[in-house]
Amino acid sequence: MIASVQIQYASANAEHAAKDTSDKQSNETLPSVGEVAVSTEDYERSAPVDWPDLVMRIQRGDDSGMEDLYRLFSRGIRFYLCRQLGMQELDDKVHDTFLIVVQAIQRGDLREPDRLMGFVRTVVRRQVAAHIDHVVHSRRDELHLDVGVRVADGRRNPEQNMVFQQKVDFMLEILSQLSERDREILNRFYLREETQEEICREMALTETQFRLLKSRAKARFGEMGKRKLQQKALVPFFSRVSAG
Amino acid sequence: MNGGIDRHFAEEVWEEYAMGMRSEEDCRLLEEHLLVCSGCQDLLAEADEYIRAAKAALSRTPKALSKPATAAVALAVALQMFHLP
């Protein structure tokens, strides 16, 4: 598994560099989870981070250390917490996480400064686990029932629901154009969550055939989304022309 | 492999991560990178949304039911048709 990550790692870097550049030019196209507010400051960062220096500055209580820590991790922590737990009290959770990280660093709990990313991840995961535990217990106390709990708030506003419905319609259109066998492959992967290995074995597919089908469907989905955006952009133009 | 800032992961890796198909060790590397990489956060957000749309659309197609579920539905229909208990 690690080997396959490594292979895909390298090829992704070139594409990603181009994506970063185009994203810098157009902040409004940045996708987000729910309504998470994002900053693009970290796009500006290009120099490698000197982790021991950063940790030392935080330990000293140097403001620049705190600022750099926030600049590096704020969007990521926010993203991770929002994805796992939803938007509710997100600012407070992000703040609490930073506080825990800074206090732990100042206490000397981080013994290897180069492992700062792993350390922050551990703190964030513990925050998520603690929150889930709290929600489960409080609901159990309220209901006196041991029921499944959805922790992340999946509710969306009407506009978001409409956009999502549009995406489902795109997907339905794509599916209608596929052969029954290809639909079965996507069905097995996305709906029944069978692994690539299982699907390839049972349907006599090569890994390449499987990947190609998936990536074509996704590319088509992306094209349809772009076309819809372009149509939207043209609506005001046509309405001006017809009014004039 | 080091989970660095300057290296990135492919779309399909994030898709598999979103679907819980990556090992614990992979998840560690991916999540560490995710904390400091806005580009990969965007890829994961896109993957989440795509998977949601795919699941919703696929669940509306006739092939959505798993094999045992299809058999159960067929049996229920047959029982109804022949007024069997």
Ordered by start, the domain boundaries in chain B are 11-81
- The pairs formed by A126-131 with CB atoms below 8 angstroms and a separation of 24 or more are A127/A81, A127/A93, A127/A96, A127/A97, A127/A100, A128/A80, A128/A81, A128/A84, A128/A85, A131/A85, A131/A93
Q: Residue A22 domain-assigned?
A: no
In a domain, A104, yes or no: yes
Within-domain flag for A205: yes
Q: Is the pLDDT of residue B85 over 90?
A: no
Assess whether A112 and A195 both reside in one domain: no
CATH of the domain at A185: 1.10.10.10
B contact test, residue of A6, A9, A21, A28 with most B CBs within 10 A: A9
pLDDT in tens, A188-210: 999 999 999 999 999 999 999 99
Query: Are residues A131 and A166 part of one domain?
Result: no
Residue of A2, A164, A167 with shortest CB distance to B25 = A2
> Would residue A7 count as lying in a domain?
no
Same-domain status, A179 and A139 = no
Give the pLDDT score at A109.
Answer: 93
Q: What is chain A's length?
A: 244
- Using pLDDT thresholds of 50, 70 and 90, give the confidence band for residue B78: low
A211 lies within 8 A of chain B by CB: yes
- The count of CB pairs under 8 A between chains A and B is 163
In a domain, A5, yes or no: no
- A169 and A196: one domain? yes
Cβ neighbours of residue B17 closer than 8 Å, sequence gap 6 or more: B26, B27, B30, B44, B47
Rounded Cα distance, A60 and A162, in Å: 50
Nearest CA in chain B to A210: B12
Q: Chain B neighbours among A 118-147 (CB < 8 Å)?
A: 118, 120-121, 124-125
Question: Do both A175 and A133 map to the same domain?
Answer: no
The tens digit of pLDDT for each residue in B2-53 reads: 455 667 899 999 999 999 999 999 999 999 999 999 999 999 999 999 999 9
Q: Does A208 touch chain B (CB under 8 A)?
A: no
* Residue that the structure tokens 């703190």 belong to: A123
| Domain of residue A80, CATH code | 1.10.1740.10
Both A94 and A55 in one domain: the answer is yes
User: Looking at residue B80, what is its pLDDT?
Assistant: 61
Q: Min CA distance, A16 vs chain B (Å)?
A: 7
pLDDT at residue number A210: 94
Counting the structural domains of chain A, the total is 2
Of A143, A178, A210, the residue at which a domain comes to its end is A143
Q: Are residues A235 and A197 both part of a single domain?
A: yes
State which residues form the domain around A197.
158-243
In B, minimum Cα distance to A215 occurs at B12
Radius of gyration over alpha carbons of chain B, in Å?
A: 20
Last residue of a domain, one of A119, A143, A167: A143
Per-residue pLDDT tens listing for chain A (244 residues): 444 444 454 455 555 555 544 444 433 333 333 333 334 344 444 567 899 999 999 999 999 999 999 999 999 999 999 999 998 889 999 999 999 999 999 999 999 999 999 999 999 999 999 999 988 888 777 766 554 545 555 667 888 888 899 999 999 999 998 889 999 999 999 999 999 999 999 999 999 999 999 998 888 888 888 887 777 666 665 566 555 4
DSSP, residue by residue, B9-59 = --HHHHHHHHTT-S-HHHHHHHHHHHHH-HHHHHHHHHHHHHHHHHHHHHT
* A19 within domain boundaries: no
Give me A178's structure tokens: 């596929």
More confident residue, B65 or B48: B48
- What integer pLDDT is reported at residue A39 of this predicted model? 40
Same domain, A133 and A174: no
- Which residues 94-113 in chain A show a CB within 8 A of chain B? none
Predicted structure pTM score: 0.72
Last residue of a domain, one of A80, A115, A143: A143
A165 and A206: one domain?
Answer: yes
Q: Note whether residue A148 is domain-resident.
A: no
Q: Do the interacting molecules here have an ipTM over 0.85?
A: no
* A5:B1 CB<8 A: yes
Q: How much is the average pLDDT of B60-83? A: 57
pLDDT for the residue numbered A22: 45
